């Protein structure tokens, strides 16, 4: 009985992937870690096509050089796979691996100054091409638009990288984000000035890369990597600035700037925060609250505005809303 269940468990891995994708609950990082787990199992016992508890436990065991949160990220796909298998066999065979305690993130996002932002976008707008090389032409066209999109919408860097052209409505200025953290689909409305820039960019890049799939395509119409975003941000940022910052901090800046502007607006504060949470693709209000908890003094300001009853003021929003 055990062998039959173990063989079923190993062969069901593809079914698990198809199920998560179809149910729109596939996280982008699952692909890397699930493939690594599969390769580990085959390396551990190349003559055995069966998935065993020992394989699961040894892979999910926290490594000596691994922080709690890093381990959680690495093993979460396998834990979900175990849950999927156990829910589909008559007598669940595999034990759920231990998930390390979630550690508080001590990261403090960079507080951009107006001068730093002016310097950064000036660097974006003055990119030079090299002997008409296609890569530098793409960079000159994309960088001013891509980083302004991050700055003006609060989108995640992953969402911008994976954004497809069909998901951007240049008629009404609405972006339909389908691939996101945890596959949480949501919509973003662009500012009129951002929409104008996006239209101009779309026309320009279309002349170079017709019938493209991605809104910000590579030369081969693929999406860019996280490393590519980081390298280009750093190159442009440190051209005129000295302080440390990263591209993801633009998302923090967007959230904080919005919240910080909501003074003396009474009950409207609640609806604005709710709309901000949805547009940023947060699964709950608590995720949005996290941003102001990172900024000294801002948390006290919001608690003062809500008379320390912040959680009670936030209404529940159902999926259909």
| The residue to which tokens 């468990």 are assigned | 9
Same domain assignment for residues 158 and 257: no
The residue among 182 and 25 whose pLDDT is bigger is 25
> 240 and 269, same structural domain?
no
29, 227, 265, 292 from 276: Cα distances, Å: 25, 28, 15, 13
309 is a domain residue: yes
Same domain, residue pair 18 and 53: yes
pLDDT-based confidence at residue 107 (cuts at 50, 70, 90): low
Regarding whether 51 and 158 lie in a shared domain, the answer is no
* Same-domain status, 288 and 234: no
Residue 95 lies in a domain: no
68 plus 6 within the same structural domain: yes
Tokens of 109: 């996002």
> Higher model confidence: residue 291 or residue 299?
291
pLDDT average, residue stretch 119-124: 97
- Does the residue 267 lie in any domain? yes
Nearest Cα neighbor of 247 from 158, 128, 127 is 158
- Report CA 192 to chain centroid distance, whole Å: 24
β-strands 186-189, 168-169: how paired? unpaired
Q: Mean pLDDT, to the nearest integer, of 101-108?
A: 72
Q: Structurally, how many domains does the chain consist of?
A: 3
pLDDT at 60: 93
Q: Are residues 218 and 260 in the same domain?
A: no
Query: Above 50 in pLDDT, residue 294?
Result: yes
Q: Which domain holds residue 299?
A: 250-313
pLDDT at residue 284, as a whole number: 65
Instruction: Look up the CATH number of the domain holding residue 162.
Output: 1.10.443.10
Lowest mean pLDDT among 168-172, 251-255, 286-290: 286-290
pLDDT digits 0-9 by tens, 203-215:
999 999 999 999 9
Q: Per-residue pLDDT for 250 more than 50?
A: yes
pLDDT single digits (tens) 132-162 = 788 889 999 999 999 999 999 999 998 999 9
Do 149 and 257 lie in a common domain?
Answer: no
| pLDDT score for 179 | 61
Distance CA(118)–CA(116), nearest Å, equals 5
């Amino acid at each position: 009985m055990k062998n039959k269940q173990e063989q079923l468990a190993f062969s069901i891995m593809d079914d698990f992937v198809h199920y998560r994708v179809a149910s729109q609950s596939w996280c982008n990082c699952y692909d890397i870690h699930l493939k690594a787990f599969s390769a580990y199992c085959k390396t551990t016992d190349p003559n055995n096509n069966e998935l065993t508890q020992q394989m699961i436990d040894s892979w999910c065991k926290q490594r000596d050089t691994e922080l709690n949160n890093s381990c959680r990220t690495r093993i979460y796909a396998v834990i979900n796979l175990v849950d999927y298998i156990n829910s589909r066999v008559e007598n669940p065979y595999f034990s759920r691996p231990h998930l390390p305690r979630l550690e508080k993130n001590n990261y403090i996002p960079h507080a951009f100054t107006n001068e730093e932002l002016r310097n950064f976008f000036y660097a974006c707008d003055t990119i030079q091409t090299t002997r008409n090389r296609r890569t530098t032409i793409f960079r000159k066209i994309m960088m001013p638009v891509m980083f302004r999109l991050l700055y003006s919408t609060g989108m995640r860097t992953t969402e911008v990288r994976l954004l497809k052209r069909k998901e951007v409505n240049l008629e009404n200025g609405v972006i339909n984000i389908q691939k996101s953290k945890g596959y949480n689909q949501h919509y973003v409305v662009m500012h009129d000035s951002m929409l104008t820039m996006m239209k101009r960019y779309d026309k320009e890049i279309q002349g170079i890369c017709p019938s493209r799939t991605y809104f910000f395509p590579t030369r081969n119409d693929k999406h860019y990597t996280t490393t590519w975003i980081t390298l280009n941000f750093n190159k442009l940022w440190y051209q005129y600035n000295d302080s440390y910052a990263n591209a993801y901090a633009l998302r923090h800046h967007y959230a904080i700037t919005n919240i910080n502007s909501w003074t003396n607006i009474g009950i409207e504060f609640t609806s604005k925060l709710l709309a901000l949470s949805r547009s940023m693709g947060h699964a709950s209000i608590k995720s949005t609250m996290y941003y102001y908890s990172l900024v000294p003094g801002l948390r006290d300001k919001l608690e003062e505005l809500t008379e320390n009853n912040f959680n009670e003021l936030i209404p529940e929003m159902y999926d259909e809303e």
